[in-house]
Structure 1
């Protein structure tokens, strides 16, 4: 038996860089394919893990990747005229109130060459937004308001009204304010189409107030567009406790659709691009 003392085995020091390198290598090998611009694809190949391009006979040539959103039709026309080609088209989505100019669409079939796919990655879109004037009127549409509140609204927005003339509407608003605290008895329609509201004061003095059954305002429906005429019908609710007033739009959705179609056609005429109404999964 040897009298020499036992020598304990000494483990080499732990190197955290080795563990990190193993983790990185595993990650590179688990998903070695990397997507590049213009449809290019590369693969990371060991041991240096350099990017090597994967050839493809179906890969599109280099193309622009850009999606622009503009605020008015004239900006869309200018942008499309700068970047469009014979393959460009316009797709107008009336449900979303969006007009898309697809500038790198598929090649057409107007010549003898085979149809070629487009990248569909360069677009300019007009997203129509409601005007501030329309939002202000639409906020109280189909809502019955107290006399004072409705009169103040008419007075503040009388410049939007075209018929009856603004002075008449302001006078109506003042008449409504003057009847605060009276008891309303009935509402009848006159031969002129106007409404006659009968009321009674606390001293039992009777009076009448005549207001039109409908009025027309002239405001833009969308930001950046010209004002158009929109008709609204007055609404009255007469009861012993007071008078409630309001209005509802007359066929405003038809005006909205007609205005959208007119804008889309104006863009098509301004750019010379084919116009289609519909939707696409990749505008």
Structure 2
């Protein structure tokens, strides 16, 4: 109870029959000196109920976004899709047509990349040693579609075996794959010859964001053969990753639009700062 009201309440209690003042109401009292006073007990400090909903709740997938929106949204709520930041924000207490509202209760779908997407993007367009490349393939076999994981595991193992070999030449095959020939010196014996065939491309199935579907991703093999040292460097280049992210975000935006009431449009942009 507010301290500046206490003398008024004390005087009122002395001049009237004892009565309990209920929180959530407004009282008018006249003290013995003839002065009228207004006692407002509707504030949150008296009722224990906040004056309004406020704050921003962050979720990570569409289902969570729609569940929270269904609980707190209303006919005047607004939804914004920010393509640049890849966020979808709902202003749950947005302004009505004629009546302004606080706009301080918000819901944000803040997308996070999956660990698989991050792993491939971290190695994108980087040349690695044979052992490093083989390790990357072995760690991410589950993402491979074509060639399949068994074929790529065999290739990775052959790379690990030939790390001490000297690569002498490369040949492009009709399929687009490239064959690297090497010779591995053995003490007291003639050098052991062999070759490794690297496919031209990898086809991956990756989920760009947590909660999103998997997308077909193409990675083109890159290589560098140092003929003086006989060292082979390998890598890959993901084709148009920004386009894949844009498509994944647009699909998520569509899921949100389909899940909220039909009269609420998903606007392209960001809401005003609260």
TM-score normalised to structure 1 length: 0.72
Q: 1:227 aligns with which of 214, 239, 259?
A: 214
Aligned: 1:209 with 2:192: no
Give 1:196 shift: 1.5
Aligned: 1:104 with 2:93: yes
Name the counterpart of 2:143: 160
8 Å contact 2:212–2:248 — kept in the other structure? no
Q: 1:279 aligns with which of 243, 265, 270?
A: 270
Give 1:281 shift: 3.4
Q: Pairwise mapping of residues 1-283 of structure 1 onto structure 2 (< 5 A)? A: 63-108=52-97, 115-202=98-185, 203-240=190-227, 241=229, 242-272=231-261, 273-282=264-273
Q: Alpha-carbon deviations, 1:209-255, whole Å to 9, x = none?
A: 21111111212111122322221111111113211111111111101
Alpha-carbon separation, structure 2, partners of 1:118 and 1:212:
60
Give 1:204 shift: 4.9
Give 1:205 shift: 4.9
Bigger shift: residues 217-226 or 242-251: 217-226
Alpha-carbon separation, structure 2, partners of 1:64 and 1:174:
59
Distance of aligned partners of 1:85 and 1:183 in 2 relative to their CA distance in 1, 3 Å threshold: same
TM-score normalised to structure 2 length: 0.74
Name the counterpart of 2:9: none
Instruction: Quote the RMSD (CA, aligned, Å).
Output: 2.0
8 Å contact 2:89–2:271 — kept in the other structure? no
Bigger shift: residues 202-211 or 217-226: 202-211
Say which one has the larger Rg.
1
8 Å contact 2:184–2:192 — kept in the other structure? yes
Structure 2: where are the runs of 5+ without partners? 1-38, 41-50
